[in-house]
Structure 1
């Protein structure tokens, strides 16, 4: 695979970075895969993660959004663990890529999983270490190991070298193992409604914006198949809460809840949920 950032020239949307810089970035259609590409990619991309409000790397409970995020996160952690245990592997080894502050691996560790994690943020690794979860900074540090499960919870959209990363992950997977990928879905009803204000675009930190067809095609090119797709129904509500704020300048929980409900109801027919989990295995 060498398609890289092969994009059409006509912008699909112009989106604002509401979290850090206030700058605008284009979303353009990929010429090969059914997905969108953020352009340009800042040379100093790491600077765009430096925000107290970027709560995927914190355990904050200060704001209303933080509290909602933490409540949903704790429920979701148990759901993720249940998904892993449903695989009924003979051994229980997991590599979590983009492990953040280590909460998911903490849950796995308590359930007797052999855990290893990767997290590029030094601050997040430090927070994880306080919980007894010691993370590596890069996947390239992992040598001569194979795992039953490799998980990427809202991580694949962040990686710069997409196709190279997929190949590397496949090389770390046991022959009968599974890669679990959760990503936003720009084909969802809430994405179509909020358009450039849709919070899950999260430019420029999200470099890629996937459809179901794109995930299937990307992994098929390394001889892997999507074995199962699982909706993340809470995401439509949380993303809509943020999107309302971006669109209207203020929180509107009632409108956000309604949009989240409509998105999930529509997805019962279309299967286009706000976020989706893909369980991927070797062919």
Structure 2
């Protein structure tokens, strides 16, 4: 895909039923350096990436540096990511134990399978979905070939007590279709847990177009607590609890400093991440948030 000239971009482009004005020019700092823009939907406030290169989206993931699909521990970024991942696994387990019922769990976009492996060790009946071939193989080796599938959600002929999406919803092209199917795959009283970046956080405001969690075009959708609530209400669901992912502010700030060209980003990233979390204690606007969602009665 070539860079899209500004004059060819509609002022009010529509994507899968979402339509709104442009709010920010963005760039793929991670891989291709291509230009994109951020638009705000008029009805829900959900922000979306434009254009969305859906026909060749996979090429934007073709990098050994895309950490969520690997167990890499070579670079300092990979090591920091792996340390943070271990802490987050325990926090996710506690959240699920305290806010859900039942033991069957589907992790939509399970990556390298660490979360499901952790849950499996704690007595859960686990199923993972993962389209990336490398991550699919890694996760199968961790939790069993019979427990990881590479198919469409509609092809799974069972329901679950818990469905999780850890930084996955923002990647999904067919957003409306998936939200409908997620609801249909929940058992009565089941719980949907979604973790996504929050573009109203302090670190998002501080870094602006360099904020790493915009991550265009891999991130097709961009949420905040209000816009996600408005969106899921259209599908008969409701947010019942919001929890922070406090380590994300530090990691996202580290990547953002790198995108800004800072050759020694660690100290600056630490202070921005710390300030973001301190600010969020008052506002609730953490860098990433976990939403616990139930079907509306």
Is TM-score (shorter-chain normalized) higher than 0.5?
yes
Instruction: Report runs of 4+ in structure 1 exceeding 6 Å deviation.
Output: none
- 1:282 is matched with which residue? 295
Q: In structure 1, the residue corresponding to 2:250 is in which secondary structure?
A: helix
Aligned to 1:270: 283
Q: What are the Cα deviations for residues 78-133 of structure 1, in whole angstroms up to 9, with x where unaligned?
A: 111111111352x3000000100111100111111001010110111011122234
Matches of 2:154 and 2:47 in 1, distance apart? 30
Aligned length: 280
* Residue 198 (1) aligns with residue 211 (2): yes
Q: Name the counterpart of 1:4.
A: 16
Local SS of the residue matching 1:59: coil
Report if the CA contact (8 A) 1:241-1:251 is conserved.
no
Question: What does residue 56 of structure 1 align with?
Answer: 68
How far apart, CA to CA, are the structure 2 residues paired with 1:139 and 1:32? 28
C-alpha change, 1:88 and 1:199, in structure 2 (3 Å) is: closer
TM-score, normalised to structure 1's length?
Answer: 0.95
When structure 1 is superposed on structure 2, of 137-146 and 226-235 the one drifting more is 137-146
Q: Which of residues 3, 13, 19 in structure 1 aligns to 2:24?
A: 13
- State the partner residue of 2:42: 31
Q: Contact between 2:154 and 2:181, CA under 8 Å: does it hold in 1? A: no
Instruction: Report 1:130-279 matches (<5 A).
Output: 130-134=141-145, 135-140=148-153, 142-279=155-292
- Counterpart CA distance in 2 for 1:267 and 1:177 is 29
Name the SS of the counterpart of 1:53 in structure 2: coil
RMSD: 1.5
Distance 1:268 1:29 in 2: 26
Unaligned stretches of 5+ residues in structure 2: 1-13
What does 1:43-122 align with in structure 2 at a 5 Å threshold? Answer: 43-87=55-99, 89=101, 91-122=102-133
The answer to whether the 8 A contact 1:3-1:32 is kept is: no
Report which stretch shifted further, 167-176 or 17-26.
17-26
Query: Hey, what's the Cα distance between the residues in 2 that align with 1:87 and 1:40?
Result: 38
Unaligned regions of 5+ residues in structure 1, if any?
Answer: none
Larger deviation, residues 218-227 vs 104-113: 218-227
8 Å CA contact 2:100, 2:191 repeated in 1: no
Query: In structure 2, do the counterparts of structure 1 residues 273 and 218 end up closer, same or farther at CA, with 3 Å as the change threshold?
Result: same
2:58 partner SS:
helix
Q: Which residue does the alignment assign to 1:40?
A: 51
Query: 1:7, CA displacement in angstroms?
Result: 2.5
**Aligned residue among 139, 142, 149 for 1:128:** 139
Q: How far apart, in 2, do the equivalents of 1:247 and 1:113 lie?
A: 42
Do the aligned partners of 1:19 and 1:51 also contact (CA within 8 Å) in 2?
no
Task: Measure, in 2, the Cα distance between the counterparts of 1:143 and 1:266.
Answer: 42
- Does structure 2 retain, via aligned residues, the 8 Å contact 1:176–1:281? yes
